[in-house]
Amino acid sequence: MNVAVIGMGYVGATMSVALGLHGHQVLGIDVDKEKIASFNKGIIPIYEIGMEENLLSLMEAKQITFSEDLSDIDTCQVVMIAVGTPASADGRADLSYIEEVAKQLGKVMNRKKIIVIKSTVPVGTCDVVSHIIQDEQKRRGVSIPFEIVSNPEFLREGRALQDALYPERIVIGCSSSQAKKVMNELYHKVADKILFTSVRNSEMIKYASNAFLATKISFVNELARLTERVGADITEVARGMGMDSRIGEKFLHAGIGYGGSCFPKDTEALLAIGKDAEVELSLLQAVKKVNISQIKWFCQKMKTCMGHLQNKKIAVLGLTFKPNTDDIREAPALRILDFLMENGAAVSAFDPKGMKATSSLYPEVNYCATPLQAIRNTEAIILATEWPEIVKLDWKTAAKIVAKPILFDGRNALNPVEMENWGYHYTGVGVFTS
């Protein structure tokens, strides 16, 4: 099947490679000339495991091509829209990119299409896209048949390609048997994972899923504050909770809060949807409040432990919002850097993939090539992202090169007993240490 993917950002790039690997002929489209030039050289402007080598393989097999020209979609039966929907100042999803794509499709479309909305969009967006395309066709004096399908993405950064190739679920909102047939063919290798539903249900499922996961994170983080106060250990409490199949262990790991491009943005967007519909989402408001306050709580713990931070040498290990990605959007580590800068600390940092992006925001930080370089002669270490390179560090040796072995584990990634045996003053999140 010939498929066009519009928008070569994180989702679009990943889906293009995945669809190519599933045997489809893929055309990747983006208005950014530099980005398309990069793709045509086999270079993907994001870090994601397995992407570049598979892209090069697909390009060599002529299974995937790239273009800046939307009119090249003429031979494509399916057009997938994967442009960004960033948050507006009021928290609502900014649909300007999707609306612009819809206008252009209405201007250039000459053959019947199934138009798939992959971007995360509020309920009712598919109707808006349909009306825009129809209006543009009227201006042209044509009536080319098309159907809008909702097919939200559920890709986890750090393993997005694996999720695209071997999904737990594929949610598709459509209203005709023809669209259902086409979507079954598009996902023929994983057709047993498909849930067909209405367009509006599909649009809501995406937001509801992310909001629920954010709720689990905020719940365990707030509970961690209590367990710490009463002398319990959140890691054991969460383990016991997770053994209940109704609860499950995933997303019950206490830490310094959620970040990234999805949870903060989608939580805000769902709150805005509720406000527009005059439905108060009080639980979700609390989720947002807890996530904001969690990093403040953790930073205050650091300050209480160290007295003051003025001119103190502190290392931050991990800058991205999670491991195996170069994405620093809404990363809790950045708010830790803000706190350290405001309190006059001298900061060094290490991250395998996030230092380039972070250095443009915090040029005063000393960025180091290895974790050991970052922590040398420091008076405290903050573990902010649980990269394997950081978690598997030789912490016993590390204790010998620091000025003071004070360790703040913002991800509960290390063994408190081991750390204390090696001489560290260890502080985790809701972890009880004797």
Residues acting as catalytic residues: 262
Query: Would you list the DSSP string of 276-335?
Result: HTT---HHHHHHHHHHHHHHHHHHHHHHHHHS--TT-EEEEE--SSSSS----TT-HHHH
* 35 is an annotated ligand-binding site residue: yes
Does the annotation place 22 within a ligand binding site? Answer: no
93 is known to lie in a ligand binding site: no
**CB neighbour list of residue 112: distance below 8 Å, 6 or more residues apart:** 77, 144, 145, 146
Q: Are strands 194-197 and 313-317 parallel, antiparallel or unpaired?
A: unpaired
* DSSP 3-state of 382: strand
- Residue 139 counted as an annotated binding residue: no
CA atoms of 276 and 145, how far apart (whole Å): 32
Residues in the chain: 434
Q: Which residue's structure tokens are 């390179």?
A: 389
Q: Confirm or deny that 255 is annotated as ligand binding.
A: yes
Tokens found for residue 350: 């290490």
Establish whether 155 is an annotated binding residue: yes
Residue 335 annotated as binding site: no
| Environment class of 94 (CB within 10 Å of its CB; exposed 0-12, middle 13-18, buried 19+) | middle
Is 253 annotated as a binding-site member? yes
Residue 329 annotated as part of some ligand binding site: yes
Say how far apart CA 171 and CA 125 lie, in whole Å: 16
Answer yes or no: is 215 a known binding residue: no
Q: 111 among the known binding-site residues?
A: no
Query: Does the annotation place 211 within a ligand binding site?
Result: no
Question: How far is residue 254's CA from residue 234's CA, in Å, rounded to a whole number?
Answer: 7
At position 163, the amino acid (one-letter code) is D
252 annotated as belonging to a binding site for a ligand: yes
Cβ neighbourhood burial of 251 (10 Å; 0-12, 13-18, 19+):
middle
154 carries a ligand binding annotation? yes
3-state secondary structure of 93: strand
State yes or no: 197 annotated in a binding site: no
Q: CB-based contacts of 394: which residues, under 8 Å, 6+ apart? A: none
Q: Which residue ranges make up the annotated binding site for NAD(+)?
A: 30, 35, 85, 120, 157, 265, 329
Going by the annotation, the residues of the binding site are 30, 35, 85, 120, 154-157, 206, 251-255, 259, 265, 322, 329
Binding-site residues for substrate, please? Answer: 154-157, 206, 251-255, 259, 322
